[in-house]
Chains A and B, each alone.
Chain A
Amino acid sequence: MPLLEVTDLKTHFHTRNGIVRAVDGVSFSLEKGQTVGIVGESGSGKSVTCYSLLGLIPMPPGKIESGSAIFGSTDLLNCGEKKLCQIRGKRISMIFQDPMTSLNPYLRIATQITEPLRLHMGMDRKRALKHAIRALGEVGIAEPEKRIQMYPHEFSGGMRQRVMIAMALITNPEILIADEPTTALDVTIQKQILDLIKERQRELGTAVLFITHDLAVISEVCDEINVMYAGNIVERAGAEELFKNPRHAYTRALLKSIPALHAKGEELYTIPGLPPDVSQPINGCAFRPRNELGDSAKCLPNHRPVLKDTGAGHWVQDCPGCLA
C-alpha cells in the first residue's frame, strides 16, 4: 500500500466570476521515501493540489468537490480539522515558494522553529531549543546558537528557505511537500537548496512531493514525474522514461522548451497560446488550441481523456491526437 494515495481529487473555487476548476480529477500516489514531482505551467493547479491535501484551501471560496487522499488509515480530505492538525507539521510538512514571506516577521526564528516540537512532541522550551539549534546546523546555517535568536529579516532568502526546510523536517515527517521551493531564489542558491533537500531526504527517509514548473529542476530530484495541465494530470512516468520517451504532446512541448536541452543557436521553442482560463467551462478540450506537436486531425474533442497505463508505469491520457 502506498504511503499516500490520492484519488480523483477535485478542488473548485466558487468565485463571483464563476467556478474555477483549479484541480479537476487528479490521482497519484507516493511511496515511502520516494520523490514524486508535479510539473506544469503557472495556474495548472499544482499548489491547489497540495494545499488541498493539507486542508489549506480557503473555504469559501474553495471546495473539495470529490476525491480521497488516504494516508495510513486516514482520509486527509475528510478527517476534520482536529485530526488534520495532528498530521500537519508532524507527519506531513510543507515548504513554500517564497521564503521571504513564509516566516513570521514578528517572531524569532527560535520561537517559530521550536513550535512544531513543543506542539507535536510535547518538548519543553529548553529541549526544543537544543533540538532546533542542531536542526539549523544540519541545514547548513553557521553559528546556529546565535542565529536562532534572530528575526527572519536578518536572513537572506536562501537562508530563510534553509530555516523553512529545517522547520519542516524537525519532526521527522513521513512526507515533505515542497511547493516550488527554489523558484524565488537565485540560480546558484537553487542548486544548494535542491541538494540540501535531497541530502536531508536521504538521511531521514522522507517521501517528497515536489512541485515545480521547471522540468530541468524536477529531472534532478524526482523518481517519478506527473505532468499537469489545466487541473489534470496528462502524463506520468519515471523521470528517465519521461525524458527519453515523452508521449503526450504537452509533455513534448514542455521538454522542447527547456533551454538546456537545446543546441546553441537553435531557436527556443515556446508553447503557442496561453494556459487555459480554468474559470471558464471548458468546451471540449482545453489543450486543443495549443496542440502543435500532436496531430489535431485525430482529436476527439468531446471525449474526456483518461489517464491510462501504457505499461511499465508510463501513464498517459488516451486521446489520440496528442499521442506520439
Chain B
Amino acid sequence: MLRFIASRLLQGLFVLFALYTITFFLAKAMPGEPFTTEKNLSEESKAYQRALYGLDKPLLHQYFIYPKNIITKGSLAISTSKGRPVKDIISQSFKVSVVLGLSALGIAICIGVPIGVISAVRRNSWVDWGTMAVAMIGICVPAFTIGPLLQIFIAAKLSAIKVAGWGDPQDILLPAITLGLSTAAYLARLTRGGMLEILSQDYIRTAHAKGIPPSKVITRHALRGGILPSVAFIGPAFAALISGSFIVETIFQVPGMGQHFVNAVIARDEFLLLGVALFFGFLIVIMNLAADILTGILDPRVRIAGNAAK
C-alpha cells in the first residue's frame, strides 16, 4: 500500500511539473505585460519593477528559479498585481473556498446518492424517470442560471438570507447549493448506474435467498459496490469544488479562490496564475489518490491487486 501511494505521488509530481511547464510558457505567451494597470508608469520604473520580480532574467533562468524557490524556500513568489505573496493570497481565499466546497460536496452527496439509490431500486417507475429527468436538467443548467434564480426566489423572500455576501454562516447556503447542484446530479446518475449493475448480480439474489429483508439487502449488500463509480468521481469533483468557482463567487460575492484564476490572467499576473494553477493541480492529484485509496478500502479485490503489484 505504501509503495502504491509513493508511486502515485511520484506520478503526481511529474504531472505537476508538466502542468507547470505548460502554464509557464502559456503565461509568457500571453499578450500584454504586467504593470500596465497602473497608469503613467515610466519605462524606468517598469524596468525597476521587472528587476524586482526577477522578470528581467533570461527565460530559462526564470523557468528553473520558480520551482527551485518552491522547493527550497516554500515560496510561490509575489503577485505582480497585488504586491502580496501568492501563498498568502491562496491560503486566505482557500479557507473560504474549502468551507464553500465542503458544504457543496456535502449537499451533493446527501442529495445525489440517495436519489441514485432510490431510482435504481425503483427502476423504470415514475420516481426513476422523474428524478433522472431532474438530474439531467441539473447537469445541463449552468450555475449562472441557478444562482440568480435562488437569489430571486429564496434570498429575496427570506430576510435571514442575504442575496450576496460572505460573513455569516447562513451565507454559505445559496452558493453551496448553486455549486453543489450539478455535482449532485452527476452523483445521482452515477449512483443509479452503479446500483443497477450491482442489483443485477447473482450475490444479490443469494442475499434475498438468505431471507435478508429487502431494505437491508440494499444497504448491506448492494450499496458498497454501487457507490464505487461515485467514489472515483468524487475525488476530482471535490478538488474542483474546493478550488473555487469564478461564476459562483461572482454571483454571490464570495472571496474565494476561483476569482484569482480569471483575475490573474486579466492582470497578466503570471506568478498568481502559476500559483493557483499548481495548487489546483496539487489538489487534483491528492484527491484522486484519496479516491483510489477509498476504492481500495471499499473493494477488497482492488486491495489485493494493489498488494500483489508491490
Q: Mark A residues whose CB is within 8 Å of B.
A: 54-56, 81, 84-90, 93-94, 96, 98, 101-107, 115-116, 119-120, 151, 153-154, 164, 167
B210 touches A119 (CB 8 A): yes
B211 touches A88 (CB 8 A): yes
B128 CB to nearest A CB, Å: 14
Q: Which residue of B lies closest to A54 (CB)?
A: B209
Contact among A54, A104, A120 for B203, CB-based, below 8 A:
A104
B306 CB to nearest A CB, Å: 13
Q: Which residue of A lies closest to B209 (CB)?
A: A94
Contacts of B207 in A (CB 8 A): 104
Contact among B210, B224, B304 for A115, CB-based, below 8 A:
B210
Contacts of A96 in B (CB 8 A): 202, 205-206, 209
- B212-241 with Cβ < 8 A to chain A: 212-214, 220-221, 224-225
A56 touches B221 (CB 8 A): no
The interface on chain B, measured as residues whose beta carbon lies within 8 A of the other chain's beta carbons, has a size of: 22
- B286-310 with Cβ < 8 A to chain A: 298-301, 304
Can you show 22 pairs from A to B with CB atoms below 8 A apart? A54-B209, A55-B208, A56-B205, A81-B214, A84-B211, A85-B212, A85-B213, A87-B211, A88-B209, A93-B209, A96-B206, A101-B201, A103-B203, A103-B206, A104-B221, A105-B203, A105-B225, A105-B301, A106-B300, A115-B210, A116-B211, A120-B211
Contacts of A105 in B (CB 8 A): 203, 225, 299-301
Q: A85-B212, A154-B304 are in contact. Are A106 and B224 (CB under 8 A)?
A: yes
Contacts of B298 in A (CB 8 A): 106
Contacts of B202 in A (CB 8 A): 96, 98, 101-102
Contacts of A164 in B (CB 8 A): 206
Q: Which residue of A lies closest to B298 (CB)?
A: A106
Chain B contact residues: over half helix, strand or loop, or mixed?
helix
A104 to B301, CA, bound (A): 11
Q: Mark B residues whose CB is within 8 Å of A.
A: 201-203, 205-214, 220-221, 224-225, 298-301, 304
Contacts of A85 in B (CB 8 A): 211-213
Contacts of A81 in B (CB 8 A): 214
A107 touches B221 (CB 8 A): yes
B205 CB to nearest A CB, Å: 6
Contacts of A103 in B (CB 8 A): 203, 206
A95 CB to nearest B CB, Å: 9
Extra pairs beyond A101-B203, A116-B210, A119-B211 (20, CB < 8 Å): A56-B205, A56-B209, A85-B211, A85-B213, A89-B210, A93-B209, A96-B202, A96-B205, A101-B202, A102-B205, A104-B221, A105-B299, A105-B301, A106-B221, A106-B225, A106-B299, A107-B224, A120-B211, A151-B301, A154-B304
A115 to B209, CA, bound (A): 12
A172 to B100, CA, bound (A): 55
A151 touches B300 (CB 8 A): yes
Report the 10 A-B pairs with minimum CB-CB distance, sorted nearest first: A89-B211, A89-B210, A88-B211, A101-B202, A151-B300, A104-B203, A94-B209, A106-B224, A85-B211, A102-B202
Select the residue from B206, B214, B224, B299 with max chain A CB neighbours within 10 A. B206
Contacts of A89 in B (CB 8 A): 209-212
A90 to B207, CA, bound (A): 12
A116 to B208, CA, bound (A): 11
Contacts of A56 in B (CB 8 A): 205, 208-209
